[in-house]
Amino acid sequence: MILKVGIIGLGAIGNYLVERIIESGKFELSAVYDIDESRYNEFSKTLNSPIPLLPISQFPDDTNIFIECASVDAVEDVVKEGLSRGKTVIIASIGGLLDKPSLWDFINLSNGKLMLPSCAIGGLDIIKAIPKDDIEELTLTTRKNPKSLTEEYSNIESEVEIFSSNAGEAVKKFPRNINVAALLSIAGIGPERTKVKIIADPYVERNIHEVFIKSKSGNYKITCENFPFENNPKSSKLAAQSIWASLDHMDSHISVGL
């Protein structure tokens, strides 16, 4: 059976997913949505056959999978629409799930399935394997070129630490840049206990994430040096690739890792 996919957000990640879906022949696009209709008009020029632009409430009933790659502001609506239909929902803007206990109650009571891809980091398998009470420290240190951050930091000329707090505060201050912090906190010991440092460094060309885990099972350090997405330097290309991998392996008979 060919699964039907609806995509919300036609930025760099959304367009990447559309290309993979069309190339694969394993899935069918049922509908797309973007708040900026001009993006849809550009996107449509690349297609051999039209795909409808619809608000998510009007996505066809036979849409099997909803994929959000728009913004943290879109997350709650996409999650509720997809899960209320008993469908699978894949979220890219994971920061949109933090500090919303009522949304988590809805998720846990729904008949659908929420998938959170690994985005731009590694080490989630380790964090999930260790009992939460055994994790003593979980720290993310992110190093990015100022151009990939907000305009407030665009003129930085030398390395500087611009943030040091927890994951919850990091997502509030950098909602478009630090979804990895939200993901780590959900997989591990929560946003308040997950420490985050952000360094703006004009001399780096990659988005560098270093995850440190101190636990009763052992101590672990994972460093990821990701190339920025060509069409959106605020994101890593690996983020888009991880979403596609989650989708592509959904029907696999073999599960590797956690």
Residues with catalytic annotation? Answer: 209
DSSP count for the chain of H helices, then E strands: 8, 12
For residue 148, what are its two tokens? 């990939």
E strand or H helix that includes residue 246: helix 237-248
H-run or E-run covering 200 = strand 194-200
Element (H, E) at 28: strand 27-33
Structure tokens at 10: 């036609």
Q: Which residues contact 224 (CB under 8 A, 6 or more apart)?
A: 120, 121, 122, 208, 209, 210, 211, 238
Query: One-letter amino acid identity for 218?
Result: G
Instruction: Judge whether 213 and 127 are in contact, CB under 8 Å.
Output: yes
For residues 111 and 34, what is the distance between their CA atoms, to the nearest angstrom? 26
Neighbours of 255 (CB within 10 A): 7
93 — alpha (psi -120 to 50), left (phi > 0) or beta?
beta
Using CA of residue 142, residue 146, residue 152, residue 157, what is the dihedral sign?
A: positive
Within 11-119, where are the H helices? 12-24, 37-44, 72-84, 101-109
